[in-house]
Amino acid sequence: QVQLVESGGGLVQAGGSLRLSCAASGSIFSINVMGWYRQAPGKQRELVAHITSGGSTNYADSLKGRFTISSDNAKTAVYLQMNSLKPEDTAVYYCNAAIRAYSDYGIHDYWGQGTQVTVSS
């Protein structure tokens, strides 16, 4: 069984910073991509950023320069450094990973439980 566990959300004032973490665990054969999505109230879930096993990154255009995604050496954890936060960054942030488990022949999307980020003005 594969799990993604997030941490690091919370309440911060506008202009502040937060760092989100997500660790993958379980019977994992390989991880192709790990990333972060967010969903604000009344809005669709949107991509924030992702990073491939090779280290390539991709960001939502509106977040470039403020958010930085990184992973650990084992490529089983992903981090999101969020700087210069704005009230419009308020959302539930979800970790996502494309994983092949030992018990599976295919690659499937896995999601974390979500962590709330609230930016006050």
**pLDDT tens, position by position, 17-37:** 999 999 999 999 999 999 999
* Contacts for 62 with CB less than 8 Å, ≥ 6 apart: none
Per-residue pLDDT tens digits for 41-92? 999 999 999 999 999 999 999 998 999 999 998 889 999 999 999 999 999 9
The DSSP line for 38-94 is: EE-TTS--EEEEEEETT--EEE-GGGBTTEEEEE-TTSSEEEEEE-S--GGG-EEEE
Contact 90, 15 (CB under 8 A): no
pLDDT over 90 (residue 105) = no
